[in-house]
């Protein structure tokens, strides 16, 4: 009875929740990695705080993308209308699958981007005039997070009500 009444909605909400949570976990890990590298440099040169902060914030975007996918998915499900939507198991599976690109893409790209940002902080420490090259390297990883966001959004848009 539960599976028939709530199975579709449960699967859809699980997918949306994973998009938000896994992207958030990746962003927390990525910004943490960059922050750890930044604190070492700040001990030696506090004047570089602004540039360090920029490099640290960049891996945090995946958490925002995951939240956007979560919000868009629950909006499309009709959950914000005040009543529980009735979703079939098939629709629940579609939402679940649609949210996976952002969930996994956000998790892994944020961690990878945090590592690149930490390396970019090393560039800032040793070659301050070339720190923007590190930003370009970080943005290269961001491209794949944007692709994950786009994939999830396009799939959610195409789920029939």
User: What's the pLDDT band for 18 if we cut at 50, 70, 90?
Assistant: very high
Helix axis angle, 49-57 to 2-44, nearest 10°:
160
DSSP code for 129: G
Domain holding 44: CATH number?
Answer: 1.20.120.610
Residue 136 domain boundaries: 2-157
What is the predicted pLDDT for the residue at 86?
Answer: 87
| N-terminal to C-terminal alpha carbon distance within the chain | 22
Query: For the ranges 38-47, 80-89, 115-124, 141-150, which has the lowest average pLDDT?
Result: 80-89
pLDDT of residue 104: 98
Mean pLDDT of the chain: 94
What sign for the dihedral angle of Cα 107, 95, 72, 82? negative
What is the model's pTM? 0.92
**Number of structural domains found in the chain:** 1
Higher pLDDT, 85 or 123: 123
* Backbone phi, psi, residue 151, to 5°: -60, -45
């Amino acid at each position: 009875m539960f599976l028939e009444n709530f199975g579709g909605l449960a699967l859809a909400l699980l997918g949306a929740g994973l998009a938000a949570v896994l992207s958030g976990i990746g962003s927390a890990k990525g910004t943490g990695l960059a922050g750890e590298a930044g604190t070492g440099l700040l001990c030696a040169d506090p004047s570089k705080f602004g540039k360090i902060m920029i490099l640290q914030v960049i891996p945090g975007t995946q958490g925002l993308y995951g939240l956007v996918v979560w919000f868009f998915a629950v909006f499309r499900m009709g959950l914000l209308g005040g009543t529980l939507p009735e979703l079939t198991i098939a629709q629940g599976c579609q939402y679940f699958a649609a949210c996976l690109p952002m969930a996994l893409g956000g998790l892994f790209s944020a961690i990878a981007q945090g590592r690149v940002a930490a390396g970019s902080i090393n560039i800032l420490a040793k070659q301050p005039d070339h720190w923007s090259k590190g930003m370009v390297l970080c943005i290269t990883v961001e491209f794949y997070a944007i692709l994950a966001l786009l994939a999830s959004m396009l799939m959610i848009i195409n789920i029939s009500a």
